[in-house]
């Protein structure tokens, strides 16, 4: 008897309209009910194209060759963190039920399924929460919950671990296994191997649009060789930094935070946090989804909402003189603190990469006197940034057409162009393959060499272990000791 398959690709290929080469070629892949298949590859290898081809999202975008056959219903969670929620609802419970309701399913059944899914993902308490008051990881889970509620035959997840903490990734792995036990199939595409991809029945490598290896498990060497990043800690070693013996802490403080407390929508998020970041130091903060990591960085930059309450002191060192940021507005803080938020898209507004950098380049003080000199100065800053980064090749591209990793690189570059003393990086490893992690580390090493300090949040324990001088845990609103 022939094996039942949910999706079958035979010699499948895809070429985007206007492109001279195929994004995918000669793909043979089949997925039976009950199976989880992860296709891993570096940025540009074609993983997102494969996910979209299977879910029928590329019709009209180019030419498909070979055979792509889907037996049943497929839904997909895309890799764009900004675009995952519908924009049609404002509460979590409504959002998770939306697809089922639009589908015409019976209301009580949809609600029951939605509640069960939230339960299984460990986010039952978010049911009545406003969508605009979710952390990045919570948002990712809510988007996924909406799809699970639909009970499709095939769930296609493009980078499902974006913004999820390691425990939550583990829980998601279990949820996906349960989904498969009930007859579903899952296809995961990603640039990183982690707790979610580890539950796969099969793993394949996609390289330049071709599936080249399929095995039960990929080895660490396979991942390294094909430019795939693995977020799980291997052994503690450092890239580009010498091991710390505690001497960093003897250096002058670049950032001093005392008694920082924050309440959002009346709920306490940070409780009396003290934090010091020394000159030349890299400090990373880890913690579960919703622990308050982004809130901490936002409160330093003055980017909380008007309904949020903040108390405590924030002091930065400006060439030997302490400056109390106290009531300083965000634009003044930006001279000292370069903030790169979790969702890079929310910090981008121009039509091209070059324009984005030009808007960010600071206006020199002699503004009224010589406009052409100012223009030349700003252009020089942009040209030198483009020359030092991978952004040169995409200088005329719309920022939204870049991968998440390159979008993050762009926001880091716009922050650096302001010449801040301290960089605040919210989940900088999001969506990065091995090479893009290398680019990030290079940005950081150069910044530290020029006398900067870095405070970063991350769920990537390996990256934290390899790059940070200190790793702090944010838990229950408090910052705890050095996990390094």
Question: Footprint of ligand ATP on this chain (CB under 6 A)?
Answer: 132-138, 163, 165, 264-265, 269, 287, 289-295, 305, 342
The minimum distance between CB 136 and ligand ATP, in angstroms, equals 4
Does an H or E element contain 226, and which?
none
Cβ-based nearer residue to ligand ATP, 298 or 434: 298
Tokens representing 270? 């940070």
**Sheet strand arrangement including 422-426:** 337-340, 422-426, 453-457, 282-286, 470-475, 478-482
Contact 66, 74 (CB under 8 A): no
Residues 6+ apart with CB under 8 A from 154: 6, 7, 31, 54, 70, 72, 73, 74, 75, 184, 185, 186, 187
Cβ-based nearer residue to ligand ATP, 146 or 341: 341
The minimum distance between CB 331 and ligand ATP, in angstroms, equals 20
State the DSSP string of 342-383: SSGGGG--SSSHHHHHHHHSPPPS-TTT-HHHHHHHHHHHHH
The minimum distance between CB 141 and ligand ATP, in angstroms, equals 9
Contact 457, 293 (CB under 8 A): yes
Separation CA 408–CA 397 (nearest Å): 14
Cβ-based nearer residue to ligand ATP, 305 or 419: 305
**Sequence-ordered alpha helix ranges (H) in 103-244:** 107-120, 136-149, 166-181, 220-225
Separation CA 213–CA 410 (nearest Å): 33
Cβ-based nearer residue to ligand ATP, 204 or 295: 295
The minimum distance between CB 348 and ligand ATP, in angstroms, equals 19
The minimum distance between CB 395 and ligand ATP, in angstroms, equals 30
Angle between helices 371-388 and 353-360 (to 10 degrees): 120
Residues 6+ apart with CB under 8 A from 285: 293, 296, 455, 456, 457, 458, 471, 472, 473, 474, 479
Give SS3 for 272.
strand
Contact 312, 475 (CB under 8 A): no
Bridge partners for 322 per DSSP: 317
Cβ-based nearer residue to ligand ATP, 280 or 477: 477
Cβ-based nearer residue to ligand ATP, 305 or 476: 305
Among the listed residues 246, 154, 141, 188, the one whose alpha carbon sits nearest the alpha carbon of residue 39: 188
Cβ-based nearer residue to ligand ATP, 166 or 209: 166
The minimum distance between CB 291 and ligand ATP, in angstroms, equals 4
The minimum distance between CB 459 and ligand ATP, in angstroms, equals 6
Question: Which single residue is written with the structure tokens 């988007």?
Answer: 143
Cβ-based nearer residue to ligand ATP, 269 or 465: 269
Cβ-based nearer residue to ligand ATP, 224 or 274: 274
Q: How many residues does the chain have?
A: 484
Among the listed residues 306, 312, 365, the one whose alpha carbon sits nearest the alpha carbon of residue 335: 365
The minimum distance between CB 305 and ligand ATP, in angstroms, equals 6
Question: Which single residue is written with the structure tokens 């990043």?
Answer: 229
Cβ-based nearer residue to ligand ATP, 280 or 428: 428
Backbone φ and ψ of 131, nearest 5°? -65, -30
CB-nearest residue to ligand ATP: 137
The minimum distance between CB 289 and ligand ATP, in angstroms, equals 4
The minimum distance between CB 370 and ligand ATP, in angstroms, equals 42
Q: How distant is the alpha carbon of residue 481 from its chain centre?
A: 25
Cβ-based nearer residue to ligand ATP, 165 or 194: 165
The minimum distance between CB 130 and ligand ATP, in angstroms, equals 7
């Amino acid at each position: 008897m022939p094996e039942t398959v949910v999706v079958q690709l035979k010699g499948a290929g895809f070429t985007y309209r206007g492109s001279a080469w195929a994004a995918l070629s000669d793909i043979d892949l089949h997925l039976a009910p009950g199976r989880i298949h992860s296709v891993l590859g570096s940025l540009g290898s074609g993983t997102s194209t494969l996910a979209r081809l299977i879910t029928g999202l590329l019709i009209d975008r180019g030419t498909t060759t070979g055979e792509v056959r889907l037996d049943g219903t497929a839904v997909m969670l895309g890799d764009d963190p900004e675009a995952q929620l519908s924009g049609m609802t404002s509460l979590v419970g409504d959002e998770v039920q939306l697809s089922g309701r639009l589908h015409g399913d019976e209301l009580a059944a949809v609600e029951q399924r939605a509640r069960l899914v939230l339960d299984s993902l460990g986010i039952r308490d978010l049911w009545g929460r406003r969508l605009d008051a979710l952390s990045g990881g919570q948002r990712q889970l809510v988007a996924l919950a909406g799809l699970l509620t639909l009970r499709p035959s095939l769930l296609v997840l493009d980078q499902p671990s974006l913004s999820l903490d390691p425990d939550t990734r583990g829980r998601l792995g279990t949820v996906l296994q349960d989904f498969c036990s009930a007859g579903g199939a899952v296809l995961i595409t990603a640039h990183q191997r982690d707790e979610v991809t580890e539950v796969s029945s099969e793993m394949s490598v996609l390289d330049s649009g071709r599936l080249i290896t399929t095995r039960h498990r990929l080895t660490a060497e396979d991942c390294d060789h094909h430019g795939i990043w693995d977020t799980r800690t291997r052994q503690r070693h450092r890239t580009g930094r010498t091991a710390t013996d505690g001497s960093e802490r003897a250096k002058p403080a670049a950032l001093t935070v005392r008694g920082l407390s924050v309440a959002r929508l009346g709920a306490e998020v940070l409780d009396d946090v003290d934090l010091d970041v020394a000159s030349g130091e890299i400090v990373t903060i880890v913690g579960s989804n919703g622990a308050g990591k982004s809130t901490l960085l936002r409160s330093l930059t003055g980017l909380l909402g008007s309904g949020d309450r903040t108390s405590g002191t924030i002091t930065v060192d400006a060439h030997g003189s302490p400056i109390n940021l106290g009531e300083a507005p965000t634009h003044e803080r930006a001279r000292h603190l370069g903030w790169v938020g979790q969702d890079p898209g929310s910090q981008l507004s121009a039509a091209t990469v070059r324009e984005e950098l030009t808007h960010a380049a600071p206006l020199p003080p002699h503004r009224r006197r010589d406009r052409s000199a100012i223009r030349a100065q700003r252009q020089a800053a942009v040209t030198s940034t483009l020359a030092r980064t991978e952004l040169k090749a995409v200088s005329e591209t719309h920022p939204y057409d870049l991968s998440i990793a390159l979008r993050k690189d762009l926001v880091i570059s716009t922050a650096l162009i302001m010449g801040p003393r301290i960089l605040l990086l919210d989940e900088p490893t999001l969506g990065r393959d091995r090479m893009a992690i290398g680019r990030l580390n290079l940005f950081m090493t150069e910044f530290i060499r020029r006398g900067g300090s870095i405070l970063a949040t991350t769920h990537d324990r390996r990256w934290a272990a390899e790059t940070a001088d200190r790793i702090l845990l944010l838990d229950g609103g408090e910052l705890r000791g050095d996990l390094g």
